[in-house]
C-alpha cells in the first residue's frame, strides 16, 4: 500500500500535508504523534472514508478512490464501536459478509471461541474489552490485507491487551496481513512495530525502521563540571534534566559531538538503552517541560 502525497483540508483548515509513505506486506506500522496531530484523519483517509484534497492511496498501484472494490482489501477499526452498538453479533456477521466477499465465517467462529466471546443480541452490551476483541475478530475474519487500527488497546486491562498484541503479531506473521496502528502506547509499538511514522502538525516528521532507529541515536546520562557547554546543548536533544544530571540523545551521524563531549570532561557519562518514548520526546516534545 502506498500513501501518495496525501493532503487534507477540512473546513478550510489544513489537517494533513503531503503525507507520503509505503506499507510493506506483512509488516506492522505504528503511527505516532501528539494529540491532534492528524493520525485518525490519516487512517480515515487511507481507508477511503474521507477523500483526500490532494494525493492518492494505492493498492497494487491502483487508486482506492478510483477502484472502490479495492476497499475489500482494507478494514478500519475505529477506537470506539459506538455506531454498531445496537447490532447483534449475527447481524454484524451478515453485514460484514456482504461487504467483504472473502469473509471467513469458520475463522470468525474459531476466533470467537478462542476469546471466549459468546454471541450477543446487542454488541453495546459487551464490556469494553470484549468489544475491542470482537472488533479484531471481525477485522481478521474479513481477510482484508490491510488492517488499520485506531488506539486498539486504549483503556483495556493487561490481559486483554496481551491477547490483542498476541493475535496482531500472529496474524502478521502467519497470514501476510499488514497492520497499521495509531497508538499512544509507545511501549507496545516498540515491542511489535517494524516501522514507526511520526506525525507532527499533519506532516510526516520522521519515518524509522525501528531496528535502524536504535542504531541512529544514543541516549546518555551526563553531568558536567558546571553548565552544559553551548556547543553541546545546540547539537544534542535534551530529554530531561534533574539538577546537574542531563539525559541527552545524540545523533550518531554527528561525528564532532563525541570529541566535544570528551573535551568537556564530564563528571559522569553513562550510556542508557534508547526507547521509542525517548525519540518521541526528542522529536515531538518541542520546548515543553517534560522533566
Ligand X SMILES: Nc1ncnc2c1ncn2[C@@H]1O[C@H](COP(=O)(O)OP(=O)(O)OP(=O)(O)O)[C@@H](O)[C@H]1O
Torsion of CA 144, 168, 181, 148, to 10 degrees: 10
Q: Which three cell numbers stand for residue 291?
A: 522533566
Q: How far is the CB of 121 from ligand X (least distance, A)?
A: 31
> Is residue 254 helix, strand or coil?
coil
**Nearer CB in complex with ligand X: 49/268:** 49
Binding site for ligand X (CB under 6 A): 10-11, 15, 33, 35-41
Q: How far is the CB of 112 from ligand X (least distance, A)?
A: 29
Q: How far is the CB of 227 from ligand X (least distance, A)?
A: 36
**Nearer CB in complex with ligand X: 18/254:** 18
**What share of residues in the chain are helix, strand, coil (percent, to 5)?**
40, 30, 35
Q: How far is the CB of 83 from ligand X (least distance, A)?
A: 15
**Nearer CB in complex with ligand X: 37/180:** 37
Taking the C-alpha atoms of residue 203 and residue 129, their distance in angstroms, rounded to an integer, is 32
Q: How far is the CB of 159 from ligand X (least distance, A)?
A: 25
CB 37 within 8 A of CB 200: yes
**Nearer CB in complex with ligand X: 37/177:** 37
Which residues, 6+ apart, have CB-to-CB distance to 259 below 8 Å? none
Among 26, 4, 32, smallest CA distance to 196 is for: 32
Taking the C-alpha atoms of residue 75 and residue 147, their distance in angstroms, rounded to an integer, is 5
**Nearer CB in complex with ligand X: 46/239:** 46
Which residues, 6+ apart, have CB-to-CB distance to 110 below 8 Å? none
**Nearer CB in complex with ligand X: 30/266:** 30
Taking the C-alpha atoms of residue 17 and residue 19, their distance in angstroms, rounded to an integer, is 6
Q: How far is the CB of 25 from ligand X (least distance, A)?
A: 25
> How many CA atoms lie within 13 Å of 79's alpha carbon, on the beta-carbon side?
14
Amino acid at each position: 500500500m502506498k500513501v501518495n502525497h496525501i493532503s487534507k483540508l477540512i473546513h478550510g483548515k489544513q489537517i494533513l500535508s503531503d503525507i507520503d509513505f509505503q506499507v510493506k506486506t506483512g509488516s506492522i506500522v505504528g503511527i505516532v504523534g501528539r494529540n491532534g496531530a492528524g493520525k485518525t484523519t490519516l487512517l480515515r483517509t487511507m481507508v477511503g472514508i474521507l477523500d483526500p484534497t490532494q494525493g492518492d492511496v494505492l493498492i497494487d498501484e491502483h487508486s482506492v478512490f478510483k477502484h472502490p472494490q479495492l476497499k475489500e482489501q482494507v478494514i478500519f477499526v475505529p477506537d470506539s464501536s459506538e455506531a454498531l452498538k445496537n447490532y447483534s453479533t449475527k447481524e454484524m456477521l451478515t453485514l460484514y459478509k456482504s461487504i467483504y466477499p472473502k469473509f471467513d465465517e469458520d475463522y470468525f467462529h474459531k476466533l470467537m471461541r478462542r476469546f471466549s466471546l459468546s454471541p450477543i443480541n446487542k454488541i453495546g452490551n459487551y464490556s469494553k474489552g470484549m468489544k475491542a476483541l470482537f472488533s479484531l475478530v471481525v477485522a481478521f475474519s474479513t481477510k482484508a490485507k490491510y488492517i488499520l487500527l485506531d488506539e486498539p488497546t486504549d483503556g483495556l486491562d493487561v490481559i486483554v491487551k496481551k491477547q490483542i498484541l498476541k493475535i496482531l503479531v500472529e496474524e502478521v506473521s502467519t497470514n501476510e496481513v499488514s497492520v497499521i496502528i495509531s497508538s499512544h502506547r509507545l511501549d507496545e509499538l516498540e515491542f511489535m512495530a517494524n516501522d514507526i511514522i511520526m506525525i507532527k502538525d499533519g506532516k510526516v516528521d520522521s519515518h524509522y525502521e525501528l531496528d535502524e532507529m536504535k542504531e541512529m541515536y544514543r541516549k546518555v546520562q551526563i553531568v558536567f563540571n558546571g553548565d552544559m557547554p553551548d556547543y553541546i546543548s545546540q547539537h544534542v536533544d535534551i530529554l530531561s534534566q534533574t539538577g546537574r544530571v542531563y539525559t541527552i540523545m545524540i545523533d550518531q551521524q554527528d561525528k564532532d559531538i563525541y570529541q566535544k563531549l570528551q573535551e568537556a570532561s564530564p563528571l559522569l557519562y553513562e550510556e542508557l538503552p534508547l526507547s521509542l518514548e525517548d525519540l518521541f520526546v526528542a522529536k515531538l516534545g518541542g520546548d515543553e517541560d517534560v522533566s
